[in-house]
Structure formats: C-alpha cells, structure tokens
C-alpha cells in the first residue's frame, strides 16, 4: 500500500514570518518562505490518516490543506509548538463520532497529560473538549491500518523524544543527536524528514552542517529538511544542498511505500 506524506508546517517554534521581524526571509513574497509550526499528516490510500504532532497552527493548517480526517495522532514530544493543536481535534470527534488515540512518547506522557487535564475533567459535557485516548507509548511498533509504525528514539538536547518510521519513510523532528541503536532502524529509506534549525549551532537542534552530515550518514534516497528558522531562504538553501537533499515547504506532498 502507498501513502502520502503532507507537510502541514515546516517552521521552527515561533513560525515564519517571525512576529515583528523585518529580515529578508520574513518579508519575502515567496510562499515557500512562509512556514507554519512543524507538523505533518500521513494519508494512506484508503483515506486513514495519521497526524504527526498537532501544532499550535493546526486549525489554519487543516483548513489550508483540507485535512479531512484524523484517525490517530503520533506525538514526537511535549513542547508547545507540537501539542497545542490537540484541542482542535474536537471537530474530528464530531465528524468521526469516536475518540482519537493519541500516542505519546513515554518520556513526555506526564507533561502532555498535565496540559490537557481539562479534557479528562470535563468528559461528557459534549462538544466543548476533545475526546482523546492518551496512550503511553514505548519503543514497540504501533499497529495501524495494516502496517507497523516504528517509534525511533532521538535526542532533543538532554530530552529523549520519538521520531516515527512508517514503511520507507522516517519523520524525525527536533533532533540534536541520534543514538547508534536508532540509526540501525533507519536503513533503506526512500524518504527521510529531518529537522535543521539554522546555520549556527544550537544546544537542542541540528544546525545546517550537522543535519547534512547526519542525512549523508543515514543515506536515504531523498532527505527533506523541516523545523527551519528565518535563517533559511528556501531557494538559496536549496542551491547549497547536495542533490539528494531539499528543504521541505508547507503543502509539499510526497508519496511513499508503506510496506518495507
Ligand atoms: Zn519544535
Ligand atoms: Zn526574520
Ligand atoms: Zn521541541
């Protein structure tokens, strides 16, 4: 079976343009320089849809890119830019008439539960809160829609987080380093999505040099970068990258094979 990966957002935590910034990228007319907060959807051929993080821009993303369903959510970690859209799932509860399973990395489970404690307290009120089934996820594969989704442990500074591998595609955001045991799970990829914050080094995110080096090491057929700051102009960045690598952009859609 095939699926499509849809980039709902490719920007770092403040989004691009940055509020109040007059730099060239923030004032650019190029749509590829406008970046919602980083998230994506995987839409399987039969319509079943996996959301990779529920960003603080989720409502605008879902409207702009016509996201019709959300069947499960895979969270990478608990930072606000990646989870504050969970409240917007209410509307899918209404259309789909069911609770939505939210897979939360075991390292982030308590934090996420704390933020959304109101959704537990207010059950049964009807319409006002999202109906979510929180699942504390370890490193075992997640069975969904006839395939196995593999969580991949990553470092985001000192914090452990998850990326996810679905068939020939792996989605790894907010990465600062990848343990050797996880690199072993990233062989034979057609598509690698990897975060790359800016040119200068950062304590919790890969810089340009680090991201390119890591992408070369993983050796996917094609690598797409995400979670980018206003240091990157889309077209300029594209020209400097090796031929197997490209910056992603909001709305980019890529097809891949779900079974390895
Ligand atoms: Zn982030
Ligand atoms: Zn700027
Ligand atoms: Zn983060």
Q: Check residue 174 and give its pLDDT.
A: 98
* Domain total of the chain: 1
Q: How far is the CA of 13 from the centre of ligand 1 (A)?
A: 5
Q: Residue 39: which CATH number?
A: 3.60.15.10
Token pair for 78: 């608990």
What is the reported pTM?
Answer: 0.97
Domain containing 9 equals: 2-257
- For 225-237, what is the mean pLDDT? 98
Length of the chain: 260
pLDDT at 131: 87
Are 73 and 100 in contact, with CB atoms under 8 Å apart?
yes
* Distance (Å) from CA 226 to ligand 2 centroid: 17
pLDDT at 2 > cutoff 90: yes
Residue (of 227, 156, 164) closest to 191 by Cα position: 164
DSSP 51-111: EE---TTHHHHHHHTT-----EEE-S---HHHHTTGGGGHHHHHHHTS-EEEEEETTTHHH
Q: Quick one: what percent of the chain has pLDDT higher than 70?
A: 98
Peptide bond before residue 24 is cis, with ω within 30 degrees of 0: no
Q: What is the mean pLDDT of residues 102-126?
A: 86
Q: What proportion of the chain, given as a percentage, has pLDDT over 90?
A: 92
13 alpha carbon, closest ligand: 1
Nearest ligand, CA 37: 1
Res 175: pLDDT: 98
Residue 126 has pLDDT above 80, yes or no: no
Task: Tell me which ligand sits closest to the C-alpha of residue 227.
Answer: 1
For the segment 20-33, the average pLDDT, to the nearest whole number, is 98
Residue 145: the pLDDT is 97
Q: Give the distance (Å) from ligand 1 centre to CA of residue 104.
A: 15
Instruction: Determine the pLDDT at residue 184.
Output: 97
> 12 C-alpha vs ligand 1 centroid, how far in Å?
6
Q: Which ligand places an atom closest to the C-alpha of 12? A: 1
- The residues near 29 (Cβ < 8 Å, ≥ 6 apart) are none
Which ligand lies nearest to the CA atom of residue 78 in the structure?
A: 3
The β-bridge partners of 42 are 5, 50
d(CA 59, CA 89): 9
Q: How far is the CA of 117 from the centre of ligand 2 (A)?
A: 35
Ligand 1 center to residue 37 CA distance, Å? 8
User: Is pLDDT above 70 for 124?
Assistant: no
pLDDT at 57 over 60: yes
CB–CB of 60/34 below 8 Å? no
Read off the DSSP letter of residue 177: B
Q: Is the pLDDT of residue 121 over 90?
A: no
At residue 127, does pLDDT exceed 80? no
Going from the Cα of 252 to the center of ligand 3, the distance in angstroms, rounded, reads 22
Average pLDDT over residues 7-26: 98
**26 C-alpha to center of ligand 2: Å?**
4
């Amino acid at each position: 079976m095939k699926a499509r990966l849809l980039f709902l957002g490719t920007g770092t935590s403040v989004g691009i343009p940055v509020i109040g910034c007059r730099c060239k990228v923030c004032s650019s007319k190029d749509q590829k320089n406008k970046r919602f907060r980083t998230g994506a959807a995987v839409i399987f051929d039969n319509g079943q849809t996996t959301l990779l993080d529920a960003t603080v821009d989720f409502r605008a993303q879902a409207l702009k890119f016509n996201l019709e369903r959300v069947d499960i959510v895979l969270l990478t970690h608990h930072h606000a830019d990646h989870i504050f859209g969970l409240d917007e799932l209410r509307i899918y509860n209404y259309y789909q008439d069911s609770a939505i399973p939210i897979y939360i990395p075991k390292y982030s489970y308590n934090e996420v539960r704390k933020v959304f404690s109101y959704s537990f307290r207010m059950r049964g009120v009807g319409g006002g809160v999202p109906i979510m089934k929180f699942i504390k996820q370890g490193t075992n594969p997640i069975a969904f829609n006839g395939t196995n989704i593999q969580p991949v442990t990553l470092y985001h500074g000192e914090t452990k987080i998850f990326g996810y591998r679905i068939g020939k595609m792996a989605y790894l955001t907010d990465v600062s380093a990848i343990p050797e045991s996880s690199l072993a799970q990233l062989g034979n990829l057609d598509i690698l999505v990897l975060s790359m914050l800016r040119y200068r080094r950062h304590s919790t995110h890969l810089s340009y040099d680090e991201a390119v080096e890591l992408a070369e090491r993983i050796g996917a057929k094609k690598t797409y970068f995400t979670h980018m700051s206003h240091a990157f102009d889309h077209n300029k960045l594209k020209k400097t990258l090796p031929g197997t690598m490209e910056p992603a952009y909001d709305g980019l859609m890529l097809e891949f094979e779900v079974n390895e």
